[in-house]
Amino acid sequence: MPKRKQVSTPAEESDLSPPPDGLLDVAHTDSEDGRPAKKRGRGKKAKSKIKTETQQAVSQEQALDKEGNAAGKKSKKTRQSKAEKEAKLVEMPLAQRTVGHKLYIGAHVSAAGGVHQSVLNSVHIGANAFALFLKSQRKWANPPLQDDHCDTFQKRCENLKYDQAQHIVPHGSYLVNLAHTDKSRTEQAYESFLDDLKRCEKLGIGLYNFHPGNDQCGDRPKSIAHLASNINKAHHETNSVVVLLENMAAGGNVLGSTFEDLRDIIALTHDKDRVGVCLDTCHAFAAGYDLRTPEAFKQTLNHFEDTVGFKYLRAMHLNDSKAPFASNRDLHANIGTGFLGLRGFHNLVNEPRLAGLPLVLETPIEVRDESGELVKDEKGKAKEDKGIWAREIKMLEGMVGMDVESEEFLEMDQRLAKQGEPERNRLEEQVTRKARERAEKAEKAERNPKKGGERGNARAAKVLEGSGLSEAENNRSESNMEEGSDR
């Protein structure tokens, strides 16, 4: 590589990964509009070590950008405005990063325009850890990682003090089902998985999180063994990256919704140093692991320790749940607004065994009014605000050591619970209705075994076919992330 770092090279110049229209500025929308001037002022005033180093890093990048521009194809004006936008993300963050906190909290940020942009997007929301997609989550074929994006990513992590080995946890593709025993399907899944792991290693990233997939052959132990064999194979073809199994919300043929599943997959993985778990709070809660009271939280964690072991826990996804406890529905809610509730997160941030782990928000960033209704923009589209993540990070950090009887906590708890009430009611009604429908169907099938049996099979087949993907599609927060993925 030439010495010149193409740190601010606009993504649209790339022949390898031309992002579709409208995606390029996804990362910048918040800094362009909708941010209260007050917040910006506060951000500007704050002085921290990170801030100073950040400014240096960005001015270096800007200088390089101007140099690069002379030889570049784009007009100077375009280049500068791009560099200015990037500088703004860092110099005028929605919240300053907390330095020296025992918790590393962040969010799944956009990598639109290239993986290197995720670092700036993370600084912008005051995050000390983050997740990203390394390629498009909706298609199998993807252009390779660009060398310049890779160099810029590394440089930015170094300058902005993100430890790639510990605190950046890319999220795998929803398309990939490593447990699929069909030859061509498993090959396709494996290639995509391996490609992601290689991208991690090129970027210096140490952890990689993915969904364990689902059993498509009707033989759960066989699917688990197949999944583990794919992990083993991928370990042989890579050097260092640790793969993290994410626990899942859905039951049925979905793998990973119990701690026992995670244990069984790990048991068959040969290199135990390169396998771990990423616990998602929403998924756990929806799968029937309670986290709400301090007692329930402790019990769930102890169950995890006894079944899987804490040494395997390497990351967490922090999401509240729009769907009720043990509903098996994967619907992420903003912290404190769901059925899990703020107290569950108070338990979490005060749990000493979780200190030091990357804790990644995958919460929705659609703006809601006081009564919980979506706020639309002039075009009728749901308004988004990355400041939601910035505020959730600060709120979670602030709950360490907070008295749950204090006025501050009670006020927060009540306000957020009220905000989430309409969505909770909607989902509760839906879940109850579906359970009733299922019970009625089962009752009918019992009365008329032949007909009902056929219907039952057809339904089971449908669930089997759609699982995994339908979950992602149903999940607003995950689809938000897809919009920001690197494509």
Longest Cα–Cα distance of the chain, Å, equals 79
**Identity of the residue, 5 or 317, whose beta carbon is nearer to Zn ion in the bound complex:** 317
Residue nearest to Zn ion (CB): 317
**Identity of the residue, 280 or 397, whose beta carbon is nearer to Zn ion in the bound complex:** 280
Q: Binding residues for Zn ion, how many (CB under 5 A)? A: 2
Q: For this structure, is 270 an active site residue?
A: no
471 is a site residue for Zn ion (CB under 5 A): no
Q: For this structure, is 330 an active site residue?
A: yes
Q: For this structure, is 138 an active site residue?
A: yes
**Chain residues 266-295 in contact with Zn ion, contact rule CB under 5 A:** 280
- Quick one: which H or E segment has residue 23? none
317 is a site residue for Zn ion (CB under 5 A): yes
180 is a site residue for Zn ion (CB under 5 A): no
**Identity of the residue, 280 or 392, whose beta carbon is nearer to Zn ion in the bound complex:** 280
Q: For this structure, is 211 an active site residue?
A: yes
- In whole angstroms, give the CA distance from residue 164 to residue 115: 13
384 is a site residue for Zn ion (CB under 5 A): no
Q: Residues, the chain, total?
A: 487
**Identity of the residue, 226 or 317, whose beta carbon is nearer to Zn ion in the bound complex:** 317
Pick the catalytic residue: 330, 366, 423, 478?
A: 330
3-state secondary structure 120-131: HHHHHCCCCEEE
Pick the catalytic residue: 246, 366, 478, 482?
A: 246
264 is a site residue for Zn ion (CB under 5 A): no
330 is a site residue for Zn ion (CB under 5 A): no
Residue-wise DSSP of 415-468: HHHHHHHHHHHHHHHHHHHHHHHHHHHHHHHHHSHHHHHHHHHHHHHHHHHHTT
Residues ≥6 apart with Cβ < 8 Å to 91? 44, 54, 55, 58
Minimum distance, C-beta of residue 269 to Zn ion, in the bound complex (Å): 20
CA dist 454 to 415, 451, 462, Å?
48, 5, 12
**Identity of the residue, 62 or 327, whose beta carbon is nearer to Zn ion in the bound complex:** 327
Radius of gyration of the chain (CA): 23
Pick the catalytic residue: 162, 174, 208, 312?
A: 174
- In whole angstroms, give the CA distance from residue 388 to residue 378: 20
Q: For this structure, is 303 an active site residue?
A: no
Taking a C-beta distance cutoff of 8 angstroms, is the pair 26, 153 a contact?
Answer: no
478 is a site residue for Zn ion (CB under 5 A): no
Backbone phi and psi for residue 246, each to the nearest 5 degrees, phi listed first: -95, 135
**Identity of the residue, 11 or 278, whose beta carbon is nearer to Zn ion in the bound complex:** 278
Pick the catalytic residue: 332, 346, 368, 391?
A: 332
Cα distance between the two ends of the chain = 23
- Quick one: which H or E segment has residue 265? helix 259-267
* CA dihedral for 57, 59, 63, 68, sign (positive or negative): positive
Q: For this structure, is 171 an active site residue?
A: yes
Minimum distance, C-beta of residue 336 to Zn ion, in the bound complex (Å): 18
Minimum distance, C-beta of residue 213 to Zn ion, in the bound complex (Å): 14
322 is a site residue for Zn ion (CB under 5 A): no
Query: What residues are annotated to the active site?
Result: 138, 171, 174, 211, 246, 280, 283, 317, 330, 332, 362
Q: Which residues here bind Zn ion, judged by CB under 5 A?
A: 280, 317
